[in-house]
């Protein structure tokens, strides 16, 4: 930007010589990437002595930044004739007044356009007058033509986008359903694999399991990701038998659940054969005050297979083992620890667009644009992308995105587009 004065005085300075040169109807406004300036000049025959030329130089300024605009030359009659003579002598016999030139006694509509820069959001339009002729080049005063906003900041219009089920994807996978009880256990009769809902309080447990599965199926933003059934037998039998027992019990529970909810398939289940439930036995012993508690725990922790069972039976002539058979083993004759898992679903793009809209409302336009461009292929982001470009003063790019959004049926974009047209 060129600075033309150290200090600019914008007071109207009327002189006798220029009193009949009227400059009025000044307009300054932003038009896309330009600033358009216009005003009208009206003179009469008394506006200027015939031997002189008046040079009106408009300038736009904001703070220390000043831009000189194309001047307007107003010719007195004698000065005009002399100019024609000089042009003819120079070989330009066809010379006549051109753009930015007029004779006194006429009117002239001035217009100019300069590139817009943010420093000129607010600006003033001044006019410098100079008289030229007969060896005189005299400064003849300043006039303030216009003062105010050049660029009226648009009001961005964004509306949060609703989530669409067709766009759902997993945002939190395989979350475990929390039951009222810490562990969901279904009990079986000793050495049996057939499930009896009416025995051992099983019905309440089965009802709670089915309620969870159905609730997951009814909710919009979660879906069943798996039912895990770990089948166990108590540790007192033979290993081969317990292996078959644990497997059979898990399968029996699976078939019960499928009978209650026929839409489930084998793929919805994960059956785990826990065989002998030594982990469960250890947990019960550790929480008890039984005799030989520490010795039993040491045997469970350090022995394996039949050696572990024989060592427990040999401890104090079967007395600790008999106690566990009566007290703990009935609790271990269960088909499972049942766990139900689900995935949390979400419309990631909608969430991202709405989060970016929140940034727009906070005037964080660059941050919002960075986030939105990741979803440039989703039509729900197009209006918001256009808003970011609009507020960052890239109106051409903003118009492209508003046009795309409008074509996709987003009427909000029309309101934004009208602000930059």
Residue 39 resides in a domain: yes
Residue 312 resides in a domain: no
pLDDT for 275 equals 60
pLDDT for 5 equals 32
Backbone angles phi, psi at 42, to 5 degrees: -130, 125
Q: For the chain, how long is the longest CA-to-CA vector?
A: 140
Residue 161 resides in a domain: no
pLDDT-derived band at 279, boundaries 50, 70, 90: confident
- Examine the domain organization and report whether 179 and 262 are in the same domain: yes
Residues 275-297, mean pLDDT to the nearest whole number:
87
pLDDT for 231 equals 80
Planar angle of CA 83, 88, 93, nearest 5 degrees: 110
pLDDT for 48 equals 85
Question: Nearest-CA neighbor of 146 among 58, 63, 65?
Answer: 58
Structural domain for 271, as ranges: 170-288+328-344
CATH number, domain containing residue 367: 1.25.40.10
CATH number, domain containing residue 43: 2.60.40
pLDDT-derived band at 19, boundaries 50, 70, 90: very low
Residue 370 resides in a domain: yes
CA 384/CA 364 separation, integer angstroms: 12
pLDDT for 9 equals 34
- Examine the domain organization and report whether 178 and 281 are in the same domain: yes
Structural domain count, the chain? 3
- Examine the domain organization and report whether 392 and 274 are in the same domain: no
Residues 69-80, mean pLDDT to the nearest whole number:
94
pLDDT at 6 over 50: no
pLDDT-derived band at 1, boundaries 50, 70, 90: very low
CA of 32: how far to CAs of 141, 149, 198, 398, in Å? Answer: 33, 15, 79, 11
Backbone angles phi, psi at 28, to 5 degrees: -135, 125
Q: How many CB atoms lie within 10 A of CB 76?
A: 22
pLDDT at 12 over 60: no
- Examine the domain organization and report whether 280 and 374 are in the same domain: no
pLDDT-derived band at 276, boundaries 50, 70, 90: low
Most confident of 107-111, 216-220, 228-232, 337-341: 107-111
pLDDT for 220 equals 86
Residue 269 resides in a domain: yes
- Examine the domain organization and report whether 31 and 134 are in the same domain: yes
Question: Nearest-CA neighbor of 346 among 354, 338, 356?
Answer: 354
308-341 pLDDT tens trace:
888 998 999 899 989 988 888 777 766 578 999 9
Buried residues in 219-236 as b, exposed as e (16+ CB within 10 A): eeebebbebbbbbbbbbb
- Examine the domain organization and report whether 176 and 121 are in the same domain: no
- Examine the domain organization and report whether 340 and 208 are in the same domain: yes
pLDDT-derived band at 55, boundaries 50, 70, 90: very high
CA 87/CA 361 separation, integer angstroms: 62
Locate 108 and state its tokens.
Answer: 């002239």
Residues 61-85, mean pLDDT to the nearest whole number:
93
pLDDT-derived band at 371, boundaries 50, 70, 90: very high
289-301 pLDDT tens trace:
999 999 999 999 9
- Examine the domain organization and report whether 212 and 339 are in the same domain: yes
Q: Give 55: exposed, middle or buried? Use CB within 10 Å, 0-12, 13-18, 19+.
A: middle
Helix (H) / strand (E) element for 78: namely helix 77-89
Lowest mean pLDDT across 179-193, 203-217, 337-351:
179-193
Last residue of a domain, one of 116, 149, 182: 149
pLDDT at 380 over 60: yes
Q: What is the mean pLDDT of the chain?
A: 87
Residues 46-57, mean pLDDT to the nearest whole number:
89
User: 17 or 345, which is more confident?
Assistant: 345
Q: How many CB atoms lie within 10 A of CB 144?
A: 15
Q: How many CB atoms lie within 10 A of CB 410?
A: 20
pLDDT for 116 equals 85
- Examine the domain organization and report whether 334 and 372 are in the same domain: no
Residue 319 resides in a domain: no
Most confident of 27-36, 101-110, 303-312, 319-328: 101-110
pLDDT for 15 equals 39
- Examine the domain organization and report whether 374 and 332 are in the same domain: no
Question: Nearest-CA neighbor of 391 among 363, 356, 355?
Answer: 363
Residue 154 resides in a domain: no
pLDDT for 274 equals 63
- Examine the domain organization and report whether 358 and 401 are in the same domain: yes
Residue 356 resides in a domain: yes
pLDDT for 335 equals 56
pLDDT for 178 equals 93
Helix (H) / strand (E) element for 192: namely none
Backbone angles phi, psi at 407, to 5 degrees: -65, -25
pLDDT for 236 equals 65
- Examine the domain organization and report whether 45 and 141 are in the same domain: yes
């Amino acid at each position: 930007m060129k600075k033309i004065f150290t200090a600019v005085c914008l007071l109207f300075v009327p002189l006798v010589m220029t009193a009949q040169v009227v400059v009025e109807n000044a307009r300054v406004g932003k038009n896309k990437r330009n600033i358009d300036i216009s005003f009208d000049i009206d003179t009469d025959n008394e506006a200027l002595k015939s031997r002189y030329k008046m040079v009106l130089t408009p300038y736009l300024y904001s703070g220390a930044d000043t831009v000189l605009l194309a001047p307007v030359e107003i010719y007195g009659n004698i000065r005009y004739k002399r100019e024609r003579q000089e042009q003819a002598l120079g070989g330009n016999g066809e010379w006549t007044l051109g753009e930015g030139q007029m004779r006194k006694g006429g009117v002239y509509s001035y217009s100019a356009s300069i590139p817009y820069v943010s420093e000129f959001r607010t600006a003033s339009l001044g006019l410098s007058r100079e008289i030229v002729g007969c060896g005189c080049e005299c400064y003849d005063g300043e006039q303030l033509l216009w003062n105010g906003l050049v660029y009226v900041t648009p009001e961005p219009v964004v509306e949060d986008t609703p989530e669409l089920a067709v766009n759902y994807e997993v945002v939190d996978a395989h979350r475990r359903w929390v039951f009222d009880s810490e562990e969901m256990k279904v009990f079986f009769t000793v050495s049996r694999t057939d499930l009896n809902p009416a025995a051992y309080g099983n019905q309440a447990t089965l009802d709670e399991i089915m309620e969870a599965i159905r609730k997951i199926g009814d909710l919009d933003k979660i879906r069943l990701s798996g039912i895990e059934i770990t089948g166990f037998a108590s540790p007192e039998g033979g290993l081969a038998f317990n292996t078959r027992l644990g497997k059979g019990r898990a399968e029996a529970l699976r078939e019960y659940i499928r009978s209650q909810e026929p839409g489930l398939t084998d793929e919805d289940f994960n059956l785990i054969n826990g065989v002998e439930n030594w982990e469960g036995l250890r947990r019960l012993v550790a929480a008890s005050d039984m005799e030989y508690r520490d010795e039993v725990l040491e045997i469970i922790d350090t022995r394996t297979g039949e050696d572990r069972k024989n060592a427990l039976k040999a401890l104090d002539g079967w007395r600790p083992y008999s106690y566990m058979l009566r007290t703990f083993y009935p609790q271990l004759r269960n088909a499972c620890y049942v766990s139900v898992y689900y995935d949390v679903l979400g419309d990631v793009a909608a969430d991202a667009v709405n989060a970016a809209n929140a940034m727009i409302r906070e005037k964080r336009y660059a941050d919002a644009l960075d986030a939105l461009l990741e979803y440039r292929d989703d039509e729900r982001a197009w209006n918001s992308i256009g808003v970011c470009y609009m507020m960052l003063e890239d109106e051409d790019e903003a118009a492209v995105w508003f046009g795309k959004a409008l074509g996709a049926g987003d009427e909000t974009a029309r309101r934004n587009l009208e602000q930059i047209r």
